[in-house]
């Protein structure tokens, strides 16, 4: 039995690149476990062949031409990290390089359209010329310098699981060989998109969570038309004020944040609530509130109602607007409870419903004023 190996220097993280020459008969066979054990010296100065318990050492350029690999074996060097198969060949043309397979591939800063892949590399082998980063299913590629240990991948699609391969490109004595390792990463899903495992919605960065199989904004957040979750407090209008007051109605105005835009399949509605002595009197979904009583003092607030993704959120502003409705003039139509502008008048609730002078007073002058005495 013939065993072949590079001389080792105690390192266990080794890498093998092997030409598959004229191996049609054994092309798909994984070599038996006990046959070939490869090890390497950092300087790559010698190659050892173990033949019937005898060690024969050759310089790399002294490898005998026509040397026959007469047995088959599977690589034993760091088997958990090596998936490379070495096939039987008519002669052995093998290059081993210490620690060049990218190791410990991880990902950070993974968002909807980008991620950063990181890897370890134990060797400072001079023959390492750089790295090729590739990913599928988009079939994207980019190159990084040999000194790099990370790479930012952009223009990805949200909610997709990618296989990212980090390939070391080796020049020295190898005919520009390449060896790589792969890992999977899943980009963050967009709002309303499917979030079945392993897809995530990005709670920390995007403030979204998986609800009913779809990505939704967490509590106290809302989905804006820009596709992101915003603070619901952003929906609260500012500069709320009374713009016009009449006897039975009042008009209001407010300012909505420039960042508030209505997303698809959602509604944002503003309502003005008017109360008298903390009791609700009237609510309007427009800027005008009707049904008020003349001559009364009121307090108004504005409420935002958000209907989105099957849920309702109500946000009430802490900003209030106080106002008093106009009183009714003498001999003008009034309703029950209305105040009359003349302190000596009242709202007569029988026909005609008008502000009339109190008993002992009479109308006089222009405008009409209630004066004491009787008219003549």
| Cα 184 from Cα 271, distance rounded (Å) | 49
* Residue 72 domain boundaries: 1-98
pLDDT the model gives residue 169: 83
Tell me which H or E stretch contains 330: none
Q: How far is CA 152 from CA 117, 143, 268, in A?
A: 6, 11, 38
The answer to whether 206 and 228 have CB atoms below 8 angstroms apart is yes
Residue 273 lies in a domain: yes
| Cα 39 from Cα 180, distance rounded (Å) | 19
How many helices (H) and strands (E) are present in the chain, helices listed first?
1, 27
pLDDT the model gives residue 22: 32
The answer to whether 313 and 301 have CB atoms below 8 angstroms apart is no
Cβ contacts of 362-370, under 8 Å, gap ≥ 24: 363/330, 363/331, 367/329, 367/330, 368/329, 368/330, 368/331, 368/342, 369/330, 369/342, 370/330, 370/342, 370/344, 370/345
DSSP state of 234: G
Do 248 and 316 lie in one domain? The reply is yes
Do 2 and 26 lie in one domain? The reply is yes
pLDDT the model gives residue 177: 66
What CATH number corresponds to the domain at position 167?
Answer: 2.60.40.10
Boundary residue ending a domain (98, 131, 156): 98
Cα 351 to the center of its chain, rounded Å: 67
**Backbone torsions φ then ψ of 232, nearest 5 degrees:** -65, -25
Do 317 and 347 lie in one domain? The reply is no
Cβ contacts of 85-88, under 8 Å, gap ≥ 24: 85/30, 85/31, 86/16, 86/18, 86/31, 86/36, 87/18, 87/20, 87/23, 87/26, 87/27, 87/28, 87/29, 87/31, 88/23, 88/25, 88/26, 88/29, 88/31
- pLDDT < 70 stretches in the chain: 1-100, 122-127, 171-177, 375-376
Residue 124 lies in a domain: yes
Q: How far is CA 350 from CA 294, 334, 355, in A?
A: 17, 10, 11
Do 180 and 252 lie in one domain? The reply is no
Do 115 and 46 lie in one domain? The reply is no
The answer to whether 309 and 319 have CB atoms below 8 angstroms apart is no
Number of domains making up the chain: 4
Do 312 and 366 lie in one domain? The reply is no
Residue 218 lies in a domain: no
pLDDT the model gives residue 300: 95
Residue 27 lies in a domain: yes
Residue given tokens 């620690």 in the structure block: 99
pLDDT the model gives residue 68: 31
Boundary residue ending a domain (148, 168, 186): 186
Boundary residue ending a domain (186, 218, 247): 186
Do 80 and 115 lie in one domain? The reply is no
| Cα 131 from Cα 168, distance rounded (Å) | 5
pTM: 0.63
Residue 272 lies in a domain: yes
pLDDT the model gives residue 204: 92
Do 8 and 94 lie in one domain? The reply is yes
Q: Three-class SS of residue 203?
A: helix
Helices (H), 140-226: 203-206
Residue 209 lies in a domain: no
pLDDT the model gives residue 100: 63
Residue 332 lies in a domain: yes
Query: What number of other Cβ atoms are within 10 A of residue 155's Cβ?
Result: 8
pLDDT the model gives residue 121: 76
Do 298 and 342 lie in one domain? The reply is no
Do 85 and 114 lie in one domain? The reply is no
Do 81 and 24 lie in one domain? The reply is yes
Residue 73 lies in a domain: yes
Do 75 and 32 lie in one domain? The reply is yes
């Amino acid at each position: 039995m013939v065993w072949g190996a590079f001389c080792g220097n105690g390192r266990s993280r080794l890498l093998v690149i092997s030409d598959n020459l004229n191996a049609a008969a054994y092309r798909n066979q994984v070599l038996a476990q006990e046959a070939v054990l490869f090890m390497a010296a950092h300087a790559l100065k010698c190659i050892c062949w173990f033949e019937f318990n005898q060690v024969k050492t050759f310089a790399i350029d002294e490898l005998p031409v026509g040397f026959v690999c007469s047995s088959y074996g599977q690589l034993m060097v760091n088997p958990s990290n090596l998936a490379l198969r070495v096939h039987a060949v008519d002669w052995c043309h093998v290059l081993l390089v210490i620690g060049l397979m990218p190791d410990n591939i991880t990902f950070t800063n993974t968002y909807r359209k980008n991620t950063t892949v990181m890897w370890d590399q134990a060797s400072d082998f001079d023959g390492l010329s750089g790295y090729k980063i590739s990913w599928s299913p988009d079939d994207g590629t980019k190159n990084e310098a040999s000194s790099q240990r990370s790479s930012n991948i952009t223009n990805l699609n949200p909610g997709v699981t990618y296989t990212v391969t980090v390939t070391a490109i080796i020049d020295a004595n190898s005919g520009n060989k390449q060896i790589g390792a792969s890992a999977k990463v899943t980009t963050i899903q967009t709002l309303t998109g499917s979030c079945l495992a392993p897809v995530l919605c990005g709670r920390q960065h995007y403030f979204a969570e998986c609800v009913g199989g779809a990505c939704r904004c967490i509590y106290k957040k809302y989905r804006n038309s820009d596709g992101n979750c915003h603070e619901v407090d952003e929906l609260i209008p500012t500069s709320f004020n009374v713009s016009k007051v009449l006897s039975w109605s009042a008009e209001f105005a407010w300012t909505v944040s420039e960042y508030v835009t209505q997303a698809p399949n959602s509604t944002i509605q503003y309502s003005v609530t008017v109360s008298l002595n903390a009791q609700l009197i009237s609510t309007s979904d427009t800027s005008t509130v009707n049904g008020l009583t003349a001559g009364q003092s009121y307090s108004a607030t504005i409420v935002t109602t958000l209907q989105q993704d099957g849920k309702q959120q109500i946000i009430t502003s802490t900003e209030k607007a106080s106002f008093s409705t106009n009183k009714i003039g003498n001999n003008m139509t009034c309703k029950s409870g209305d105040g009359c502008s003349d302190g000596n008048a009242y709202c007569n609730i029988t026909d005609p419903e008008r502000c009339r002078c109190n008993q002992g007073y009479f109308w006089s002058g222009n405008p009409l004023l209630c004066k004491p005495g009787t008219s003549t």
